[in-house]
Structure 1
Amino acid sequence: MTTWPTVMVTGHRPQHLKPAVHAWVRSELDRLAVKLRDEHGMAVGVSGMAIGADLWWADAVICAGVKLDAHVPFPQQPDKWQKEDRDEWMRLCRAAWTLKTYGGYFDVKTLHARNDGMIKAADVAIAVHLPWKASGGTASAVEKLTGLGKPIIHVNPAARVTTIRMPQPTAA
């Protein structure tokens, strides 16, 4: 049995996913949190705390009784979100075991620093990723994870299938 004590998530925002798959992704993240806890020794779940996959994973981790490491790019992250999303962000930040902030204000650099911090902390990553989407933070994180040779649990919302990829490090 492979042990993965720390598991991060990277994933698309809800607007990039068809509304019909939101419930499937949430239930898949719930299932994975329990499976990773019980079968792979997950003790910490890492989330970048953005709307969509990040907050869904954070909730799944808490519900599974696992410690949540919340990696927040900047304190104002939820300011432009709808009230229900801001409230959920606050609830999950309060429930987090640790809260790490990467900058004092919005800057794309803080988003990348947050992703880099999560990647460094994680033994394995869950990627809620549409395979054809080659730009954005999720695609960038998947590329970095692949380059480091970290395992990726790919949750494909389009096909509604989950697979594990054990990438090999790329040559420098």
Structure 2
Amino acid sequence: MLVHHGDRLDLVDGLTGPLAPLDLFAEAPFNWQGQRYLSVGAAVAASRFSNPRLRAALAEEPDPAIAWAKGKHLADWVLSATSESVVQERIADTGLDINWATAGQHLAMRAILRTKLTDQRLRELLRTTGNALLIASGEHHQMLWGCCRCSGHASTPGRNLFGSQLMGLRAELGGREDQSWQRATCIGPRPGRITSPDRAWVLTELQRITDKLRTHHGLRVAITSGIPGCDLWWAEIAQSQGIALWLYSAYPQKAQTWDAQDRQLYHATVQSAAYTRVLNPVYSPEAVQAHCRWLLRDSSVLIAVLDSATPSKNTATIVSAARHKRPIVLVDPKTRTTRLLKASAQ
């Protein structure tokens, strides 16, 4: 589970132990829209349908994970008919919300969590997590709302939307909007792709940016990939300013092939990291892509060093993926400028 506050780690990786009642599939009964449900998972599964009989059947399923699966299978069956007229008949009979997979489930999840958190005990339990990153990890094969750790999914980070919703509601319970940028990651060129004058400017700029994020935006954690270049340089800068390091590796780094300075910096980062995880045991293009999604998922803000004259393809791709999801501090060595790209949807 991992949570500390004093000497803080501030990471909940799995809603287990004392926090288990907050889990998506926890058996913690509550009433929603006139029906008693055993879990949030069962209530969200039932929210696909307006038919009272179907909702009651899902509510009565004793295993919350099975209730979730039944809701999905029934929805798949409704839409699987080869005849459009049969599909429409099934929709009419079940009351299936055809927009559930896009907007419906997100609205339902938030409404259901708000209802569940009217329980004072659960509100206080959520508050005890402080400002921790909440990862709804488990083994229910749930990759949209959670992060499955089964052997088939362990190397692919889930989207953790359930954890994100809990963190948003936790901020509301504290009477505030969650606008702090507590966790950041930095991407950019490797050492051979940046000139000495550009490197000197970038290092100075990363010092300034990190100090501003720490003092004005509540930065507490630097998430690093441990890759030579801007990533490791920034990790060293962040640590020098008292910011905790979390090391997220796509695969075990072959540091023995790097030059001595990069190798020394990498080993120092490994030793000083408060938290370390390796996503995949070996290199693969899929592991690298999954790793990028992982970094963006757990970061509040992205720092991207991107030369407008000779942009790195990898860096540009990540910036594009993050553009409307996270604020981006864009650092351009060519023009010696830094600008903030605000997220259109937080």
TM over 0.5: yes
Looking at structure 1, the residues matched to 309 and 344 of structure 2 have their Cα atoms a distance apart, in angstroms, of 21
2:321 maps to 1:157: no
* 1:100-111 matches, cutoff 5 A: 100-111=277-288
2:289 maps to 1:82: no
Segments of structure 1 that go 5 or more residues without pairing to the other structure are none
Looking at structure 2, the residues matched to 105 and 79 of structure 1 have their Cα atoms a distance apart, in angstroms, of 16
1:166 corresponds to: 342
Task: Compute the displacement of 1:135 (Å).
Answer: 5.5
Q: Which amino acid aligns with 1:70?
A: L
CA contact (8 A) 1:61 1:67 kept: yes
Structure holding more strand per residue: 1
Deviation sequence 1:5-52 (CA, Å, 0-9, x none):
111111111222222111111111122111111110001111111111
Looking at structure 2, the residues matched to 78 and 111 of structure 1 have their Cα atoms a distance apart, in angstroms, of 17
Structure 2 residue matching 1:37: 3-state secondary structure? helix
Segments of structure 2 that go 5 or more residues without pairing to the other structure are 1-178
State the TM-score, normalized to the length of structure 2: 0.46
* 1:10-159 matches, cutoff 5 A: 10-133=187-310, 136-146=313-323, 148-159=324-335
If you compute each CA radius of gyration, which structure gives the higher value, 1 or 2? 2
Task: Compute the displacement of 1:163 (Å).
Answer: 0.7
RMSD: 1.8
Task: Compute the displacement of 1:112 (Å).
Answer: 1.8
Query: Which stretch of structure 1 is more off in the superposition, 37-46 or 134-143?
Result: 134-143
Q: Relative contact order, CA 8 A, sep 6+: which one is greater?
A: 1
Looking at structure 2, the residues matched to 92 and 74 of structure 1 have their Cα atoms a distance apart, in angstroms, of 16
Identity %: 27
Looking at structure 1, the residues matched to 344 and 216 of structure 2 have their Cα atoms a distance apart, in angstroms, of 23
Query: Which stretch of structure 1 is more off in the superposition, 54-63 or 106-115?
Result: 106-115
Looking at structure 2, the residues matched to 132 and 106 of structure 1 have their Cα atoms a distance apart, in angstroms, of 30
Q: Which amino acid aligns with 1:23?
A: A
